[in-house]
Amino acid sequence: MSLAPGNGPVQITQDQLQARIHEIAAKIREDYHGMEPHLICVLNGAFMFHADLVRAIDMPCTIDFLQASSYGNAKQSSGEVRIVKDLQFPISDRHVILIEDIVDTGITMNYLLHYLEGRGPASLKIAALLSKPSRRKVEIPVEYLGFTIPDAFVYGYGLDRSQFDRNLPFITSQE
């Protein structure tokens, strides 16, 4: 495992990320053939994953953005979820895929699923780049998963370290 300059070991390389994103995109194309899915990016952490996934899907789709917070600048979730930025477009009768960077405890995703289900989508599925099942407090159905990782603080490729390092093209961890 190589070290990222000024960071810990590279956990998932840029090539590994892109290869897995293309696999997820192929599955979404298959599952939504003949449909126009609506891909909602959970800001801020999922913005890179969302952008790369939307480009890789290569089919008619629409996008929107939602921001929820349960962390602030902390490394541990507070457990209290709040909507910081709501959707711009209605999702009633739409096939929605919620794009998330990481499913950790499951508390935020559980909140968002119930929040969005109340708006009457035709279907609602989750695509998550990362999952930490060892930390799960609420089980969440992730239909499109990038990577399962151990319980470590990771950042890069959209995930931050106190708002920094989102621009790293790979995922690394703190030593």
Residue 55: give the domain boundaries. Answer: 13-67+78-159
CA–CA separation, 128 vs 20, rounded Å? 11
Number of domains in the chain: 1
For residue 104, indicate whether it is catalytic: yes
Q: What is the pLDDT of residues 142-156, one digit of tens each?
A: 999 999 999 999 999
Marked catalytic residue, from 15, 31, 86, 104? 104
User: Is the pLDDT score of 5 beyond 60?
Assistant: no
Q: Is residue 7 part of a domain?
A: no
Q: Is residue 130 part of a domain?
A: yes
Are 116 and 98 in contact, with CB atoms under 8 Å apart? yes
Q: Is residue 175 part of a domain?
A: no
User: What pTM did the predictor assign?
Assistant: 0.91
Q: What is the DSSP secondary structure assignment for residue 57, as one 8-state letter? A: H
CATH of the domain at 116: 3.40.50.2020
Q: Is residue 89 part of a domain?
A: yes
Q: Is residue 170 part of a domain?
A: no
